[in-house]
């Protein structure tokens, strides 16, 4: 009898999915930019440019509308620059800036990933939320700021989710009015704390932008005065919360489960200072600007933190587990960064290309010509960041353009650090007021509210009063610095 010969099924090799390819491209971009920072090379610079373009082209179908609009503007500016006879070198420099901003944002992954499984982070989050009202606002504000340094937008998801879980109707003693008041106060504390990160975080993209576009700006002075400005802003928010707290509901508040965990708070502060300290060491030893040193420090600190979580394994096994986790989670997460990277890289690109089309001295002269003179000038520049954000323009693009223009403007008579603080403060207030920022959308979605309700309705009066307060602070600061000959 003839043997029953069955044909073997042919194996078809499945093509790699788009997400995996884009993750590989973005990881390669990160290490290309990092290597070029330490060892400048034309080859690496060109490689980074090509990788950025490849990532955006591959992820175009998934990029949200605001990211596509930014990329379209970047494309139109490129065409306009070519038509105007601008050198191709300008497009290359614009791509360099875009690649730097994209890498700066994507690098946050190396801190977010160990934070996701950190016992310290969970302890701190519970400590900030499970408090009586008198302490909760202040601690949530501090938490929004400190977690914002290492998690960026991830802090809103982390603490926002915990707020939603902790603020049930049962937790409010069955009183829905009390539940809604608690929800509003906790969300505003979180939003206001997070909004201080551009002002007071040495790891923020805002600090990196201004150090890139304002020559002569010293990061030590900017950080110290930024911390002072953030403290003024956050303290003012706490005062407003205390004044507007509904006293008629005080007797309905159930006993809080508040507990003291100072070790968790000290651990979080130590973590932030360690990352910053590593950046300062790299800045000193490698003779790099701080924003470039931060770029190198983030993945090193993140991998060390992740390695600490696997310290109970042998060094070889622990290293293998760290590497496997970074590859697995990077492949999952990096494609999701598409819209943020489109916005940030486009903002850097647009700011640089505009400088090729409209020389910064011309734009700077126009800005200073329309600006009110003297002590009101910082308030004017703050407004130039806030108003465009209300209609959807990302502050990173506004600050990049304004910073480059003001760096080339005729002498304004204002210290450079005050101009920088005014621009970053406008960025912080834009986070508080604009319903079109990612932060407002994330928070609103967490509690089934509209972004307009969270920002303009709940926070609008605070932001307006804070604008007046900061305008006065900057006027005073100008007087102080002038008296010291700075």
3-state helix/strand/coil string of 106-163: HCCHHHHHHHHCCHHHHHHHHHHHCCCHHHHHHHHHHHHHHHHHHHCCHHHHHHHHHH
DSSP readout, 26-40?
Answer: HHHHHHHHHHHHHS-
Neighbours of 93 (CB within 10 A): 18
Classify residue 11: in a domain, yes or no: no
Classify residue 316: in a domain, yes or no: no
Backbone Cα Rg of the chain? 24
Residues of the chain predicted below pLDDT 50 = 1-15
Instruction: Report how far apart, in Å, the C-alpha atoms of 188 and of each of 240, 322, 425, 439 are.
Output: 11, 36, 17, 12
Whether the Cβ atoms of residue 478 and residue 418 lie closer than 8 Å to each other: yes
pTM beyond 0.95: the answer is: no
| Closest by CA position to 430, among listed 470, 387, 462 | 387
Residues 172 and 200 in one domain: yes
Structural domain that includes position 101: 18-106
Domains: count for the chain: 2
Residues 61 and 161 in one domain: no
Classify residue 179: in a domain, yes or no: yes
Residues 82 and 121 in one domain: no
Residues 362 and 462 in one domain: yes
Residues 180 and 81 in one domain: no
Give CA torsion, residues 399, 402, 403, 406, to 10 deg: -160
Q: Helix, strand, or coil here: 171?
A: coil
Classify residue 387: in a domain, yes or no: yes
Structure tokens at 193: 């704390």
Residues 171 and 235 in one domain: yes
Whether the Cβ atoms of residue 149 and residue 230 lie closer than 8 Å to each other: no
Residues 222 and 287 in one domain: yes
Classify residue 326: in a domain, yes or no: no
DSSP readout, 257-315?
Answer: -----HHHHHHHHHHHHHHHHHHHHHHHHHT--HHHHHHHHHHHHHHHHHHHHTTTS-H
Neighbours of 281 (CB within 10 A): 12
In angstroms, the CA 131 to CA 163 distance is: 12
Of 91, 106, 121, the domain-final residue: 106
Who's near 27: CB < 8 A, 6+ residues apart?
330, 334
Whether the Cβ atoms of residue 421 and residue 225 lie closer than 8 Å to each other: yes
Classify residue 463: in a domain, yes or no: yes
Of 51, 78, 106, the domain-final residue: 106
Instruction: Report how far apart, in Å, the C-alpha atoms of 207 and of each of 210, 252, 359 are.
Output: 5, 44, 23
Who's near 346: CB < 8 A, 6+ residues apart?
67, 70, 71, 73, 74, 98, 397
What is the per-residue pLDDT for 52?
Answer: 95
Residues 299 and 183 in one domain: yes
Residues 294 and 228 in one domain: yes
Residues 148 and 77 in one domain: no
């Amino acid at each position: 009898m003839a043997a029953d010969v069955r044909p073997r099924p042919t194996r078809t090799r499945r093509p790699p999915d788009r997400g995996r390819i884009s993750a590989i491209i973005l990881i390669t971009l990160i290490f290309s930019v990092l290597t070029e920072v330490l060892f400048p090379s034309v080859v690496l610079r060109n490689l980074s440019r090509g990788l950025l373009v490849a990532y955006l082209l591959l992820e175009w179908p998934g990029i949200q509308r605001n990211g596509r609009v930014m990329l379209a503007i970047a494309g139109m500016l490129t065409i306009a620059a070519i038509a105007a006879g601008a050198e191709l070198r300008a497009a290359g420099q614009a791509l360099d800036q875009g690649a730097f901003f994209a890498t700066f944002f994507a690098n946050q992954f190396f801190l977010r990933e160990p934070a996701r499984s950190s016992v310290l982070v969970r302890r701190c989050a519970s400590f900030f939320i499970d408090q009586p009202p008198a302490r909760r606002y202040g601690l949530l504000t501090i938490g929004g700021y400190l977690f914002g340094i290492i998690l960026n937008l991830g802090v809103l998801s982390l603490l926002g989710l915990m707020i939603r879980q902790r603020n049930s109707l049962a937790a409010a003693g069955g009183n829905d009015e009390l539940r809604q008041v608690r929800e509003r106060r906790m969300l505003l504390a979180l939003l206001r704390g997070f909004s201080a990160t551009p002002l007071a975080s040495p790891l923020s993209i805002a600090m990196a932008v201004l150090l890139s576009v304002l020559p002569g700006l010293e990061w030590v002075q900017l950080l110290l005065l930024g911390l002072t400005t953030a403290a003024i802003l956050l303290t003012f928010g706490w005062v407003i919360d205390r004044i507007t707290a509904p006293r008629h509901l005080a007797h309905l508040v159930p006993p809080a489960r508040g507990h003291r965990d100072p070790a968790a708070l000290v651990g979080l502060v130590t973590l932030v200072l360690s990352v910053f300290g590593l950046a300062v060491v790299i800045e000193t030893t490698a003779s790099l600007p701080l924003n470039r040193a931060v770029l190198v420090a983030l993945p090193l600190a993140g991998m060390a933190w992740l390695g600490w979580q696997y310290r109970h394994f042998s060094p070889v096994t622990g290293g293998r587990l760290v590497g496997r986790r970074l590859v697995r989670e990077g492949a999952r997460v990096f494609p999701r960064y598409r819209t943020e990277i489109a916005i940030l890289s486009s903002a850097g690109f647009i700011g640089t290309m505009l400088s090729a089309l409209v020389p910064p001295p011309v734009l700077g002269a126009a800005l200073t010509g329309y600006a009110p003179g003297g002590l009101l000038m910082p308030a004017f520049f703050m407004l130039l960041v806030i108003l465009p954000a209300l209609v959807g323009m990302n502050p990173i693009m506004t600050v990049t353009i304004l910073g480059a223009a003001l760096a080339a403007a005729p002498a304004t008579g204002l210290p450079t650090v005050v101009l920088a603080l005014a621009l970053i403060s406008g960025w912080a207030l834009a986070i508080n007021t604009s319903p079109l920022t990612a932060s407002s959308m994330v928070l609103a979605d967490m509690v089934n509210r509209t972004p307009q309700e969270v920002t303009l309705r709940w926070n609008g009066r605070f932001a307006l009063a804070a604008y007046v307060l900061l305008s006065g602070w900057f006027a005073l600061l100008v007087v102080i610095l002038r008296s010291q000959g700075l």
